[in-house]
Amino acid sequence: MARKLLLTIALCLAAAAAGALYLTRSEKALAVSKTEPGPSGTKVVAYYFHLTARCTTCRTIESYSREVIEERFAGELTKGRLEYKMVNVQLPENRHFVKDYQLFTKSLVLVRFENGKQAEYKVLNDTWQLVGDKQSMQAYVEREVRGYLARVS
């Protein structure tokens, strides 16, 4: 299992390195700071950090995560208690996230903001181990998002 995971990560990294060659300056970026404006300043942001080129596994993690968040947390999204954002960390203005969240591959990261400032975060690394089982992966993402939302007043 660990060998398969390492192979999958290596393939994703190779695809991303190839995609970096085609990165253009005209690509629009999502630049995000550690301070997020909001009505109350208290919310959870689910970031999916990716590179320009993405392998099938990376796209699957993104798809499963987005589906869970949009379908099971529609009310929280509407109320602004939860946001889902995709961020390309190959863009210069987003590279700081790799260091900020100690990212080593494409990742789903939950960040809780209190009074507009980052209070805590969690990198959901188990998505890579669970991606082969949609139901288990989505249950994991849902459980983690619910845990973070429970700490948002």
**What domain count does the chain have?**
1
Q: Which of 13-27, 28-42, 101-115 has the lowest mean pLDDT?
A: 13-27
- 117-123 vs 107-114, strand pairing mode: antiparallel
- Does residue 150 or residue 17 have the better pLDDT? 150
50 within some domain: yes
* Prediction pTM value: 0.74
pLDDT of residue 8: 54
26 within some domain: no
Taking only the tens place, the pLDDT of each residue in 44-71 is 999 999 999 989 999 999 999 999 999 9
The mean predicted confidence, pLDDT, of the chain is 81
Give the list of residues 6+ apart from residue 20 with CB closer than 8 angstroms, or none.
Answer: 51, 52, 53, 90
Taking only the tens place, the pLDDT of each residue in 37-51 is 445 578 999 999 999
Q: Write phi, then psi, for 113 (nearest 5 degrees).
A: -110, 135
pLDDT of residue 36: 44
27 within some domain: no
Q: Are 47 and 87 in contact (CB under 8 A)?
A: yes
62 within some domain: yes
86 within some domain: yes
**CATH number assigned to the domain comprising residue 43:** 3.40.30.10
Q: Residue 44 belongs to what H/E stretch? A: strand 43-50
Sequence-ordered alpha helix ranges (H) in 21-118: 56-72, 74-79, 96-100
Domain that holds residue 97: 2-21+32-150
Classified as helix, coil or strand, 91 is: coil
pLDDT over 70, % of the chain:
73
- Does residue 104 or residue 124 have the better pLDDT? 124
- How far apart, in whole angstroms, are the C-alpha atoms of residue 136 and residue 39? 34
Under the banding of pLDDT at 50, 70 and 90, the label for residue 152 is confident
pLDDT of residue 88: 95
Under the banding of pLDDT at 50, 70 and 90, the label for residue 4 is low
